[in-house]
Chains A and B, each alone.
Chain A
Amino acid sequence: MPCSRGELQNGCSEGRPPWAHDVIRARRLRLQIFRAVVLILLGAFFLVPIGAMFEFSTRGNTMDAPRTLSYWASIFTFPDLVQAIIASLELATITALAMLLLLVPTMIWIRLRLPRLRRVMEFICLLPLTIPAIVLVVGLLPIYLWVSFYGDSIYPGAGDSILTLAFAYVILVLPYTYRTLDAGLSAIDVKTLSEAARSLGAGWPTVILRVIVPNMPGAILNSCLLSVALVLGEYTVANLFNFENLQVALVTLSRLNAGVSIAVAVAGLMFTFGLLVALSFVGRARTQTKLPPPKAIAAIPQVSASSGPVWGQRT
């Protein structure tokens, strides 16, 4: 009988002398009780508020009224809310695309030609974790005055569009997307791929777009999903710049119609949750495609990124 992870950590009875069995069984039982208690108690702490939100969003007008989905049905009758949802979706798309455009070519270029800058780039990309969003807002205010000024001179109205928030959002998603893309690039042999393509006469755009990018679909999708989830949940920057994105509209709406705002909140939570579950499958798919040909490297233990540095060694 193969041992599960928990059994390995806390004693697996396979291949042991009989006297050890009772001790190990007792320990395994204790562990299972501990796991059940922790997961049930903390699970309740996390599930009850979400359940309460759902309960709140299905209430009738009075406490005794029957359950109704009228709050959910009326979500799309609030034009400000609909506009904010559309704006947030547009922002999510623009941010994800701009992030890819900015990061992927630079990361590949730095790996190939400017390896000395790699640590610098990593440091800068992780910097937004250290600078609270509210601090960034304080510093960005004067810069957004320029953005507004030059934006309007390029295209009337462009400078005051909510979509200018994407400039700040690209910065906010950097730490998360950099790590994902860096892991994706580390998993492929960028140097060999690009040298092979270059020696066959490919230009740099071809190398990046048609050779390297198709080799890291998991990391690209992963970073896009993270950006989308982050932008859809963003409140601080939009609120302080007086733009109505989804979260700002939710807060405004909660003062007028709490039921609808909580219905949208539940929907948003579920949507983001769905994205992240999808993301966990992307991670698995990537490691599966990464498996080397069986004969050549069969003797080397597998160490994959998503299954952890150690546990991959068990076959």
Chain B
Amino acid sequence: MTAATGNPVANTASRRLGGGRRISLDWLGAVPFFGYVGLFLILPTGIVVVGAFFSKEGPTLANISDLTQPFIITSLINSLLLSTITAIAGAFFGALMAYALATGNPNGALRRIVSAACGVLAQFGGVILAFAFIATIGLGGFVYVFLLNQGIDIYPNGVWLYTLPGLMLVYMYFQIPLMVLVFLPALDGIRPQWREATESLGGSTWHYWRYVAGPLLTPAFLGATLLLFANAFSAYATVAALVNQGGIVVPIQIANALQSETGAHDPGFAKALALVMVVVVAIVMTLYAVLSRRTAKWLQ
């Protein structure tokens, strides 16, 4: 009863705020954008999530149970290994490089050039990065031929560039730059006064890193590592350009299931694989969001 009598009052109040009796049409202005993303972002995601549980005949769990096939498990493990190792190593080297940049002149040419180069390599390289390594340590590559002439064979047990270790090396080429881009703002947030405060209280360099800078940078570092993981896990272009055959990682398995010429055309299974990727990346990115919120607290 109270709700029923309360409603008309609230309605008139809100209508008065909205300007007379006219019904507000403000929401119409947001329709084009939300319509567009609804059609080209939300709907495709929905199609993947729902389609994973459907086949041509109707609802099924076959796509999901097909995920346990040995070659799918292998590529999933490969994907996780590739992403974990390149995320950790990329985060480590990227953090070193970011620190080397952060301690220089913030408006200097070095930082400007390195930042732009990191942007290119981290986000726009894809195919080109695969080419770069083929030209470097491929069988006709400059460095490979040079080392061979010095009597060093980097492929004593066969060419590993086109296998998982090779992929890891190539992935580092975009993981380190991404780390630099993501971690640099966190390092910029470190105030020199904190170091001075540590010193005036008698603390050493070790104390400063252990008790001041370290704890402050840890959430940012872990968050960036997670972002690197998601980045490597989602990457398709580099591996597709580097490895022609087989299904070494999950994105390639999805592509194989989508393309009819491989004989494995199965859109329902592609959606199940895509769902696995969404779930993994969503978990990682949620953790990232939590950590970056913690970082944002003191960065501002």
Residues of A within 8 A of B (CB): 4-6, 8-12, 27, 31, 34-35, 38-39, 42, 45-46, 48-53, 55-57, 63, 102-103, 105-106, 109-110, 113-114, 117, 121, 124, 127-143, 167-168, 170-171, 174, 176, 229-230, 232-236, 239-240, 247, 250-251, 254, 258, 261-262, 265, 268-269, 272-273, 276-277, 279-280, 284, 307-311
A308 contacts B48, CB within 8 Å? no
Give bound CA distance, A38 to B123, whole Å: 22
A138 contacts B30, CB within 8 Å? no
B117 contacts A143, CB within 8 Å? no
| Distance in Å: Cβ of A314 to nearest Cβ of chain B | 10
A42 contacts B191, CB within 8 Å? no
Give bound CA distance, A153 to B121, whole Å: 41
B interface residues, how many (CB within 8 angstroms): 94
CB of B71 within 8 Å of the partner chain: no
| Distance in Å: Cβ of B37 to nearest Cβ of chain A | 5
Main secondary structure of the interface of A (DSSP, over half): helix
Contacts of A140 in B (CB 8 A): 40, 44
Q: Among the interface residues A31, A39, A135, which one has the most CB atoms of the partner chain B within 10 A?
A: A135
Give bound CA distance, A262 to B110, whole Å: 27
The answer, among B96, B125, B128, B274, for a CB contact under 8 Å with A134, is B274
CB of B26 within 8 Å of the partner chain: yes
Binds A, one of B1-9, B150-158, B214-222, B230-238: B230-238
Name the residue of chain A whose CB is nearest to the CB of B98: A38
Give bound CA distance, A42 to B29, whole Å: 49
A49 contacts B96, CB within 8 Å? no
A138 contacts B254, CB within 8 Å? yes
Contacts A233-B123, A247-B237 given; indicate if A131 touches B278 (C-beta within 8 A).
yes
Contacts A250-B127, A273-B116, A310-B188 given; indicate if A113 touches B241 (C-beta within 8 A).
no
| Distance in Å: Cβ of B63 to nearest Cβ of chain A | 12
**What are 24 pairs between A and B in contact, CB < 8 Å?**
A10-B195, A35-B104, A42-B96, A45-B176, A49-B133, A50-B132, A53-B131, A121-B33, A127-B41, A132-B234, A132-B278, A138-B47, A138-B48, A138-B271, A139-B44, A140-B40, A141-B267, A230-B123, A233-B126, A247-B126, A251-B240, A273-B116, A311-B106, A311-B188
Q: 10 new A-B pairs (CB below 8 Å) besides A38-B97, A135-B234, A233-B125?
A: A5-B103, A46-B117, A63-B145, A114-B30, A121-B30, A132-B234, A232-B124, A265-B127, A309-B299, A309-B300
Give bound CA distance, A140 to B234, whole Å: 17
A137 contacts B277, CB within 8 Å? no
Give bound CA distance, A114 to B177, whole Å: 38
B103 contacts A134, CB within 8 Å? no
| Distance in Å: Cβ of B284 to nearest Cβ of chain A | 9
Name the residue of chain B whose CB is nearest to the CB of A55: B142
B205 contacts A261, CB within 8 Å? no
A139 contacts B124, CB within 8 Å? no
